[in-house]
Amino acid sequence: MAARIIDGKALAARVRERIAEEVTALADEGVTPGLAAVIVGDDPASTVYVGMKHRASEQLGMLSRQVELPADTSQDELESVVAELNADEAIDGILVQLPLPDHLDPGRVQELIDPAKDVDALNPYTAGRLAVGDPTFFSCTPYGVLLLLEEAGVETAGARITIVGRSNLVGRPLANMLTLKGHDATVTIAHSRTRDLGEVCREADVVVAAAGRTGLITADMVAPGAVVIDVGTNRDDDGSLVGDVDFDGVSEVASAITPVPGGVGPMTVTMLMQNTLEAARARRGGRA
């Protein structure tokens, strides 16, 4: 029997409806959550992503500010912009869209973002708080994965979850989040150097594919009845957006699966909005 499709678009719509209600409640108290996105240069994908975040925040009733800088912006100039946003009381969340032009150091920039406004969860302080089990913000894509697992009815406590990919954006933070008390999963992080990746994946109740390789996860690598979350965003030969999972084949083995597009992607932007809402509350003493 074909796998049930975990509809990220539908889930994102429901979460955004709840966020909008909470933003309205904050507005009644005179508080409007504010999100600032900084983009350097004219990378087409980055422009699309920042536009999506801008529209989402405005639709939810948040203040949205886009800071567009030329590709030849210096490190000092970019860091000065971040410092200004750190000091701006109207801004609760700051994100610097990656990738940056090659002459800029993204690590230095992320370290400068005020941890109280680090809604992209890329500051080492934020990552460290998560690693020691006392998180401030969750990374947006892994945060979305958690909600998708809930949507699929996965009981993470005691579940064996294999994450294929060890990036600081998805694999590492997701592993930390899944092992927090309350989630209590048994997590394996696999990657390009893992011996017999198929065997490691077949041992899992849940496979999360986040390696950035088209069709990496095939049907023979998935245990019958497992849940598969596809974080991959790749382009095939005709330019279509595809994931890391052979969707057609794996759908015949898994019990539930996310599509690409329409799975994890909509949740990433949604959880950025959630983090901005949480930042607005925290910066004002946790008022609801």
The model's confidence at residue 286, banded by pLDDT at 50, 70 and 90, is: low
271 falls in which pLDDT band (50, 70, 90)?
Answer: very high
Q: What pTM does this model have? A: 0.94
Instruction: Write out the H or E segment, with its range, that includes residue 85.
Output: helix 75-87
**Residue-wise pLDDT tens digits, 191-208:** 989 999 999 999 999 999
| One-letter amino acid of 100 | L
Integer angstrom CA distances of residue 214 from 123, 158, 163, 204, 206: 29, 30, 16, 20, 19
Catalytic residue list contains 120: yes
Q: Specify the pLDDT at position 237.
A: 83
- Binned at pLDDT 50, 70 and 90, residue 1 comes out as low
- Domain 31-114 sits in CATH at 3.40.50.10860
Across 158-162, average pLDDT: 98
pLDDT tens track for 228-265? 999 999 988 888 899 999 999 999 999 999 999 999 99
Residue of 218, 213, 244, 220 lying closest to 230 (CA atoms): 244
- Whether residue 53 contacts residue 95, with contact meaning beta carbons closer than 8 Å, is answered with yes
Please list, in sequence order, all residues whose beta carbon lies within 8 angstroms of the beta carbon of residue 40, skipping any fewer than 6 positions away.
69, 70, 71, 73, 78, 96, 97, 100, 101, 104
Catalytic residue among 53, 117, 118, 246: 53
Query: What's the pLDDT at 121?
Result: 97
Question: Would you place residue 96 in the very low, low, confident or very high pLDDT band (cuts 50, 70, 90)?
Answer: very high
Q: What is the mean pLDDT of residues 161-182?
A: 97
Catalytic residue among 92, 97, 110, 205: 97
Q: Which residue did the predictor score with more confidence, 235 or 130? A: 130
pLDDT tier at 287 (50, 70, 90 boundaries)? very low
CATH code of domain 140-265: 3.40.50.720
Residue ranges per structural domain of the chain: 31-114, 140-265
Q: Which residue out of 92, 118, 120, 246 is catalytically annotated?
A: 120
Round the average pLDDT of the chain to a whole number and report it. 95
The whole-number average pLDDT for the span 136-157 is 97
Could you give the CA distance from residue 272 to residue 54 in angstroms, rounded to a whole number? 11
Answer yes or no: same fold for 31-114 and 140-265.
Answer: yes
User: Does the annotation count 59 as an active-site position?
Assistant: no
- To the query of whether residue 114 is one of the catalytic residues in this protein, the response is no
- Each residue's pLDDT tens digit, 11-59: 999 999 999 999 999 999 999 999 999 999 998 888 888 999 999 999 9
In the prediction, which pLDDT does 288 show? 36
